[in-house]
Amino acid sequence: MTELYRWSAVELAAALHTGDLGPRAVAEHYLRRIARHPELGAFAEVTADAALERADAVASAPERGPLYGLPLADKDLVARAGVPTRYGSLARAGFVPEASDPLALALDGAGAVNLGKTATSEFGLTGYTEPRTGAPARDPWRLADGAGGSSGGAAVAVAAGLLPFAVASDGGGSIRIPSATVGVVGLKPSRGRLPIGSGFDSPDGLAVTGPIARSVADAAFLLDALVGLAPFRYATRAPGDGPFLAAVGAEPAGLRIGVTTVSPWDASEDIRLHADAAAAVQAAATALVGVGHEVEDAGWTPRGYAELFRVLWRASAARIPLTEADLELVEPLTAWLVRQGRGLAAGELLGALSAARVFERETIAAFAPFGAVLTPALALPPQPVGWYEGLDPERTFARQVEYAPYSSFVNVAGLPAIVLPFTRDASQHPVSVQLIGRPGGEATILAVAAQLEAARGALPHPPVW
């Protein structure tokens, strides 16, 4: 029998529901796989004994949820009772929560088997995953390179076959940046799409929960489960929505697809689109024409973005409950962000929030003529571990923008977006593209992404596979 880590999540789910596989056997398989690859830095904590106990409990439960028996792991920003939850920070190195966050409880309720914690950057603040609490998350294609962030551990675990898929979070690209870096599928849902991790949980509305997977179908399957985790209260779910897995085989034709390599950072930062990233967008555009879509330049001219996001980024750090003593333990960038954020004047913050809503409306209006908009996923190829080390905070920020200028604006606009690998560079490393949808347009971008996936054909796996 083919080793289980090679199975898709959809295949695993089917075999678990029919009884051809049991939750304990699946958990044991993935725990062995995780133990075999500590060099990847994917996990901040592995809870093997608890996972096997949980697998046995799931197997004997009277009801089977949509994630019955499937292995998952919490991003190390999600509290789980009795499990060390460090938030990627030495300031929380000894923290063991007594209560679980709603997402952890809901995933348990859906039947998932938790294997531990995937690595994240400190408090999820950066687009790279090199926390002082553990080893850096490494690109499984080239171990000298970083995996991106902040959900770097989750993306690495999926790419290397340590998990069938993963639940992560995205406040400025934290799902899409690492997914594009290591060559897997990452989906950021619309603001308000999910009942837990909706984006309505904070004043800036940026961070949402979403799936990381090895295929578009697996991402759609996990999105369906996430949508169903709790009674729905938000506006972006229409009565006819879902299941999203059905959208994967919809084969739409005749959509108007916009294409842009413009980023809202172009006027303020040194954005240089690498030739491989540009070629991937061109190849994807050609493939979309080949399956019957109309592809044209989106004609997008964003304005007024850079300063508003700088303010929101600092303000998001200001909400982290850190004392002055804690600030002596955190990374210099985190301490700077927190202090800068706490020093913002009320008028400055309110002005940035107001500007963000203007940017949201203008971006939605600019993209409205298109069923989806195609962009690069990243501007640069994966960079070495330590690429951000030793820089002053402003330069660290600029370098993150230079690497991933196409991510954070999607959060500000509240739109859904998916990244998937489409071409390969000279070393056979995958190069990804991004599709951005209309508000609530996950079904469309999943359908189009599946068409690109089919047109692309099978890609090789990383050497650790």
What distance lies between CA 162 and its chain's CA centroid?
16
* Cα-to-chain-centroid distance, residue 88: 17
Residue 179 is among the residues annotated as catalytic for this protein: no
**H-helix or E-strand containing 218?**
helix 216-227
Kindly provide the b/e burial profile for residues 167-180, where b requires at least 16 CB atoms within 10 angstroms of the residue's own CB.
bbbbbbbbbbbbbb
| Strand bridging mode 430-437 / 372-376 | antiparallel
Q: Contact 115/34 with Cβ under 8 angstroms?
A: yes
* Cα–Cα–Cα angle for 106, 108, 110, rounded to 5 degrees: 70
Reduced to 3 states (helix: H, G, I; strand: E, B; else coil), residue 305 is coil
Distance CA 121, CA 131 (A): 5
Identified catalytic residue from 174, 198, 263, 316:
174
Half-sphere exposure of 315 (CA within 13 A, CB side): 22
- Which residue from 425, 422, 424 is spatially nearest to 185, judged by alpha carbons? 422
Roughly what angle, to the nearest 10 degrees, separates helices 216-227 and 442-456? 160
CA–CA–CA angle 270, 156, 461 (5° rounding): 100
Is 188 considered catalytic here? no
Determine how β-strand 165-170 pairs with β-strand 113-118. Answer: unpaired
DSSP 59: H
Given strand 43-46, what is the order of strands in its sheet? 43-46, 113-118, 71-75
Q: Say if residues 130 and 121 touch (Cβ distance below 8 Å).
A: yes
Q: Quick check: is 150 catalytic?
A: yes
Tell me, what amino acid is at 165?
F
Burial profile 300-324: b = 16 or more Cβ within 10 angstroms, e = fewer: bebeebbebbbbbbbbbbbebebee
Angle (nearest 5°) at CA 324 between 318 and 325: 130
In 50-128, DSSP assigns E strands to 71-75, 113-118
Nearest-angstrom CA–CA distance, 308 and 447:
33
DSSP 8-state class, residue 462: P
Strand order through the sheet with 417-424: 165-170, 208-213, 185-188, 417-424, 430-437, 372-376, 256-259, 294-297
Catalytic pick among 150, 151, 190, 198: 150
Catalytic positions: 75, 150, 174
